[in-house]
Amino acid sequence: MRTGIFGDIHANLPAFDAVLDAMKREGVEQMFCLGDVVGYGADAKACIDRVRELEIPIVAGNHDWAVAGRLDLEYFNPHARAAVEWTRDALTQDDLDWLRGLEPLDQVGELTLAHGTMHDPEDFEYLQTPYDAYLSFQVMKTRVGFVGHSHIPVTFLDGMPITYSIDPVLALEGRRAIGNPGSVGQPRDEDPRAAFMVYDSEADTVSIHRTEYDIDDAAKRIIDAGLPPILADRLRVGR
Ligand code: ZN
Alpha carbons 5 and 79: distance in angstroms, whole number: 27
CA of 117 to the centre of ligand 1 (A): 13
Tell me the pLDDT tens digit for each residue of 41-96: 999 999 999 999 999 999 999 999 999 999 998 889 999 999 999 999 999 999 99
CA of 42 to the centre of ligand 1 (A): 14
CA of 81 to the centre of ligand 1 (A): 13
Report pLDDT for 207.
Answer: 98
Instruction: Tell me the average pLDDT of the chain.
Output: 97
Q: What is the mean pLDDT of residues 213-226?
A: 97
CA of 35 to the centre of ligand 1 (A): 8
Tell me the pLDDT tens digit for each residue of 163-176: 999 999 999 999 99
Report pLDDT for 189.
Answer: 97
CA of 115 to the centre of ligand 1 (A): 8
CA of 142 to the centre of ligand 1 (A): 24
Alpha carbons 61 and 6: distance in angstroms, whole number: 12
52 with 98: CB under 8 angstroms? Answer: yes
Q: Write the burial class of residue 192 (CB in 10 Å: 0-12 exposed, 13-18 middle, 19+ buried).
A: buried
Report pLDDT for 74.
Answer: 86
Report pLDDT for 75.
Answer: 82
Alpha carbons 238 and 163: distance in angstroms, whole number: 25
Report pLDDT for 115.
Answer: 98
Polymer length in residues for the chain:
239
Tell me the pLDDT tens digit for each residue of 13-40: 999 999 999 999 999 999 999 999 999 9
Report pLDDT for 233.
Answer: 97
CA of 18 to the centre of ligand 1 (A): 18
